[in-house]
Structures are given as structure tokens and as C-alpha cells.
Structure 1
Amino acid sequence: MTWNVHGTFALNPKFDLAGVIALIEKWSPDIVALQEIDSRGSGVNPFAVLEAAFGGHSVGVKSIVTTDGDYGQMLISRWPWVAPPEIHDISFGEHEPRRAVVADVATKGGVYRIIATHLGLSIGERRQQTRKLLTLAHEPAHPALIVGDFNDWFWVNSVRKSLAATFPERTHHRTFPARWPLMRLDRVYGRNVRIIESFTDPDARAISDHLPVIADVVPTLPQQITPPAASSLQPLQSM
């Protein structure tokens, strides 16, 4: 599952971190990548709240840190990390700081490399950031997913065109703006996997200006590693 939660503010605007948690619990995915987690001016630390709500394994990625709070993304996994996740700076020039988190996750179906990110607003920025993402996905032996908000709506120099050869599997849902979705900004890209099913959830319209993307995936390569036990939640194969 990947979802830009737009600061966890609903469109009224009403602080609705509880709504974010409820919608994630509704689908109970194995992997959750969240973008635009924002504690600035709210008096609440959503990174801590989300970690407490889901326990298990999580990493908060704060790309903007201020005295009034932080802004960034989060990766949450039902399954344990093979090694501590890595956070990479993929910022471009003087544009907004951007990060990518890379984690190898020992799931029920084997080891997956997960790369979660939130790309920039300009074509040149996204082009450079996509090159960096491909270098982070260098391990060919594992199934891999690149997930997040790619801010990608042009075919010329598009992220999806750049990733097509290496990550041929992808979702195609219109996710923005949530009330009248026109753009496919939020995606799941896959290598050595098959996307069995993917969908969005219109209930998210009351919470964010993006719809989440939920995907069921299976590996297409045999797995050699026996994963450790998961948390007490019933494991699913949703991502």
C-alpha cells in the first residue's frame, strides 16, 4: 500500500490522523509507504502515533526538520527487515528536499527489496531522481517494488518510461485529486513480481487529496531465504 496522506489533514480541513490509521487497518497491508506526514504546527507527532499504532517495523524519514515539527514519509512493515533500512538523499538542486528509503523485507513469500519515495515536481528533477532509484534497486536476485508518489503525469521523460525496462509491472490507477481522480501520481512498480490485483479506496477522499494504491503481488522468482516470524497480525500479501 502506498498513500500520500497530505499532511494527514482532511479537506475540511480537520486533523484526521485517526482516519489514516483506520483506513490502513481496514486493508491490513504487509507494507505501507506513506508520504507527506507533517507535524508542523499541529502539536502532534504523527510519526510516533503511527509507529505506536502499527508497532512491528517502521522507519520515519524526515526530509524537513523545523522547531515547529517535521515533514516527510514513513515505511511500515508487518515483516522484519533483513538489515536496517537505508535513507538516501535524492534532492535536486535548490528544490524541496527529497528522500528514498530502501529496505529488504523478509516476508512470508521471501525477501523483497522495497524502495519508497516521493519525487519532485519538475521533469528534470524527477529524471535525475529516477536514475538514483534504479541504482538503489541494483540487487537483481530479489523481487523489488518501488512505491510512492511520483508526481508523474507527462509521458515525455516520464518516470514510468524510465522504469519500464527494469520494473515492467506497475499499477495504473488515477489517484489525484481524490474527489475527481485524473492523474496517476501514486504507483507501485515491480520487478520479478506479478501484480495479481490492485485498487484504490474512495473512502480516502475524506482524509487526503490523494487516493491510496493497494496491490496484491507475488514473486516470480523462487526464494531461497526462509523469513523470520512476522508480528502477531495475520499476514497478507497486500503491498
Structure 2
Amino acid sequence: MSASLIVASYNIHKAVGADGRCVPERILDVLDEIGADVALLQEADTRFGLRTAVLPRAMLAARGWIPAALGEQPAAMGWHGNAVLVRGVARLARASRIALPALEPRGAVMADVEGDFVPGGGLVRLVGAHLDLSGLWRARQARRIIERVARAPGAPPELVMGDFNEWRPGGAAVAALAGRWRELRLAPSFPARLPVGRLDRVFAHHALPIADAGVHVSALARGASDHLPVWVRLGG
């Protein structure tokens, strides 16, 4: 291993902050504070109609970000709001959508990133998800993610991150994911102003070299969205 990779997961709340204003620059400033190489975003598009991306592509390009082609509609960046951004040392090999069973529109995304972040180099498979508010549907969605990852070509180590909407420590969805991957115990991330809920979680393959992980707390992050971002550093 000769490099490190910082992966952030962030429910950006359509870039609407605590002041009620939509300010995309704040979201990108928070990602810069983290030093993220990859960003798995939730609520990156408007929810209804044309599902327009809330982070302008010109603004992303100016910060060095390249979005994965996941949008089902031309104006969207993500799949049901789930988007993947890469920059710097992160090289996107492929990305795909995961359709989830749901009463309300929900989805997850999967992306393979190339680099020297795991022993021997190769790929890291990233999964970003935003699960349902209903516990019954969350459990079904977690099982679907596990099934889709198991059927995906190749077998790179996986890192699963996102807003799992689970307040309980023993919820069925979290238990299902923890049965396949180890959960990294992080501090609460929601609501951003005074976090009490561990809604944003991280699950990692046992072979992944996790150097560090945490919840990013700053004055900017507390005001940019209703969630704080979580992050993982792989490699050295």
C-alpha cells in the first residue's frame, strides 16, 4: 500500500442548511474540510419532478470532482438522490444503481474505485445507501443490498456507508448488514446541531485496512445540512 483514500458519506439535505437556504458551496467546503477523495452523497437531487442535481456540475468541476453517471434523468446526478463523486487519487472503474423495494422512492448505488488502498492494490467496492423510514422496509432494503453486492462481478472488499435511518442499536436492517460486514462504531451524526442519533453508519469488509474513521464536526458542518458527514480513511 502506498496511498490512502478518504471516503465520506454525507446526507446533504439537498444542500439546505440550518438557515433554510440552499447553498451548494457549503457542502463542497465541508468535503474539503474532510479532505475527501470520494463522496457518497444522499439527497443530492431534488426529490420530485425532474430530480435536478443540487450541486452544479461547473461548481463540482472547479473543485476537481467527477460525478459517476448514475442519474436516471438528464438533470439528476444520482439514483433516488444517491450520488458518487471522485477526485484526486480516486479512479472510478464502474458504477451502478441498486433498486430497492420500497413504498417511497429509495435506492442505493455501487461504485468500484481503483487504487493502492488495499493490500496488493486493485479495487475497493463502495456502496452508498439511503434507507426507508419504515423498519420493515429498511430490513428488506438491507437484504437487497447484500444480495446485489453478492451477485456483482469480482470480489473486491466492500465499504458500505449511508443514512440508514435506524435509531435503534438492534434494528433488523443494521443487524442484517452487520451479519455480513463489521460495523465501525461512530458517534451520533443527526441532527447536525446537536447529534443524538447514529443514523449515518459504516460497514466494512474484514480485509479492508481501516486507518481511521469518524464523524466530521465543525461549525460549517453543523450549519450546512441536517446531518453531519461520516468518513473513513483506508490505507496508510
Query: What TM bracket, shorter-length normalisation?
Result: 0.7 to 0.9
Name the aligned partner's letter for residue 92 of structure 2.
W
2:135 to 93, 111, 123: 123
**2:67 equivalent to 1:58:** yes
1:201: which partner in 2?
Answer: 217
Structure 1 unpaired stretches of 5+: 219-236
Q: How does 1:190-229 map to 2 (within 5 A)?
A: 190-191=204-205, 192-199=207-214, 200-203=216-219, 204-218=221-235
Q: Secondary structure at the match of 1:214?
A: strand
Displacement of 1:98 in angstroms is 1.1
2:202: which partner in 1?
Answer: 188
More deviation, 158-167/132-141: 132-141
Q: Which runs of 4+ in 1 moved over 4 A?
A: 60-66
Displacement of 1:57 in angstroms is 3.6
Q: How does 1:29-48 map to 2 (within 5 A)?
A: 29-39=36-46, 45-46=54-55, 48=57
Deviations 1:34-58 (A, max 9, x none): 11124479x9852525542444542
C-alpha separation between the residues in 2 aligned to 1:44 and 1:85? 18
Q: Secondary structure at the match of 2:110?
A: strand
C-alpha separation between the residues in 1 aligned to 2:105 and 2:86? 24
C-alpha separation between the residues in 2 aligned to 1:126 and 1:150? 8
1:102 to 98, 110, 114: 110
- What is the percentage of aligned positions where both structures have the same residue? 28
Change (3 A) 1:14 1:51: same
Aligned pair count?
Answer: 214
Q: Secondary structure at the match of 2:179?
A: coil
C-alpha separation between the residues in 1 aligned to 2:107 and 2:9? 15
Change (3 A) 1:30 1:59: same
Partners of 1:169 and 1:194 within 8 A in 2: no
Partners of 1:101 and 1:117 within 8 A in 2: yes
Q: Secondary structure at the match of 2:82?
A: strand
Deviations 1:213-237 (A, max 9, x none): 122134xxxxxxxxxxxxxxxxxx7
- Name the TM-score, length of structure 1 as normaliser: 0.78
Partners of 2:80 and 2:105 within 8 A in 1: no
Name the aligned partner's letter for residue 181 of structure 1.
P
C-alpha separation between the residues in 2 aligned to 1:52 and 1:132? 33
Partners of 2:46 and 2:81 within 8 A in 1: no
Change (3 A) 1:74 1:153: same
1:9: which partner in 2?
Answer: 16
Change (3 A) 1:133 1:160: same
Change (3 A) 1:165 1:157: same
- Name the TM-score, length of structure 2 as normaliser: 0.79
Displacement of 1:64 in angstroms is 8.7
